[in-house]
């Protein structure tokens, strides 16, 4: 029979360095979002456009259903 042994991988970073980075990022008091000009497009404009399109299509579907538009006879 083949015996399976558990292979241990070395971590990507040492635990001490990871904890050091974690403490650094948790102690940052400034907000780190919406810094560049394209962040506003990806964080604000795209979700707003998606929400508007969704609400428009839902409203149009409710209107069509209430008026019997597109119903097969």
pLDDT tens, residue by residue, 1-35: 556 666 676 667 688 888 888 888 888 777 666 66
pLDDT at 51: 97
| Mean pLDDT across the chain | 82
- The alpha helices in 1-73, defined as continuous H runs, are 15-26, 37-40, 46-67
Token pair, residue 58, equals: 């839902």
Confidence grade of residue 38 (pLDDT, cut at 50, 70, 90) = confident
pLDDT of residue 11: 65
């Amino acid at each position: 029979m083949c015996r399976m042994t558990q292979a241990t991988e070395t971590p990507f970073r040492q635990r001490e360095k990871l904890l050091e980075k974690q403490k650094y990022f948790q102690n940052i008091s400034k907000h780190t979002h919406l810094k560049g000009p394209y962040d506003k497009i990806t964080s604000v404009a795209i979700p707003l456009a998606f929400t508007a399109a969704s609400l428009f299509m839902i409203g149009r579907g409710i209107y069509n259903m209430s008026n019997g538009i597109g119903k097969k006879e």
